[in-house]
Amino acid sequence: MISVGIKYCGGCNPRYDRSRMVTELIKEFPGISFIYDTSVYCPLWITVNGCPVACGADTELPAKEVVRLTQPKDFFQLRTRLQALCTDASSSRIQHCSVGDTATLQKTFTFSDTAAFSRLTGDTNEIHIPSAVASQGLFHRPIVQGILVSSLLSALMGARLPGSGTILLEEHVEYLRPVFPGDTVTAEICFREYTEHKNFYTGTFTGTCTLEGGSLAVSATYRQMMSKHFFTVRPNPPQQEM
């Protein structure tokens, strides 16, 4: 359900029956949850002013958009905006996340993958291709680029958890074992914790890339910026004491 905030100004004698008009508006849109707690983020906040002076403070409201009402005709324009908001919500791509959510994918790396990555990035390190350097190296054969392996975690975060619209803020990645062409890797992302801000969340995610035998190849921690336009985070239910 969409949340829309309502705030009344308190500094004048209204020149119209704004309470009645707000009541009618609420009845007209049963699919919208109208709230009055000014600490709660809403896509839209409405300030209901009693006159054109519009003395109700609205600059600090936690909202993507604020609409000021100062006279009866403003309510008719607002109805159009609310109808559009309901339409947008019906086709919304908002993704819901909860702490503890996980996502996985599996990939078998090939020489074609390492060659394509080298062409794309300009990484000419011969340790990644069949060469004398690779055969004389510590592992005596080519290894997959570490960043290519950990990119599976980036792919998971961008496509599935949290999903499209997320922005990477910080990463800490450890490469623990080599991955060779022909190896199959399982990547897993877990949503660990978050901090809520006015218009976005910062989420902490941990990631692993594991080889088929169970050996850990990559361990990582990420912080993501998650806009409230694209994401909501469902708080975990409180745990009951035993």
Instruction: Identify the CA nearest to 222 among candidates 144, 156, 146, 149.
Output: 156
Residue 91 half-sphere exposure toward CB, CA atoms < 13 A? 3
- Tell which wins on pLDDT, 24 or 242: 24
Mean pLDDT of all residues belonging to the chain: 89
pLDDT tens sequence across 111-146: 999 999 999 999 999 999 999 999 999 999 999 999
Please name the residue that has the structure tokens 């020149």: 15
Alpha carbon distance, N-terminus to C-terminus of the chain: 34
pLDDT of 44 higher than 60:
yes
Interhelix angle 111-121/146-159, nearest 10 degrees: 90
Residue spans of alpha helices (H) in the chain: 18-28, 72-90, 111-121, 132-136, 146-159
CATH match for 96-234 among 1.10.940.10, 3.30.70.20, 3.40.50.300, 3.10.129.10: 3.10.129.10
pLDDT tens sequence across 158-177: 989 999 899 999 999 999 99
> What are the sequence ranges of the domains in the chain?
2-92, 96-234
Among the residue ranges 9-18, 50-59, 79-88, 91-100, the one predicted with the least confidence is 50-59
Quote the pLDDT of residue 54: 65
- Tell which wins on pLDDT, 109 or 229: 109
pLDDT tens sequence across 60-103: 888 888 999 988 999 999 999 898 888 776 555 688 899 999 99
* Cα dihedral across residues 70, 72, 75, 80: positive or negative: negative
Residue 46 half-sphere exposure toward CB, CA atoms < 13 A? 26
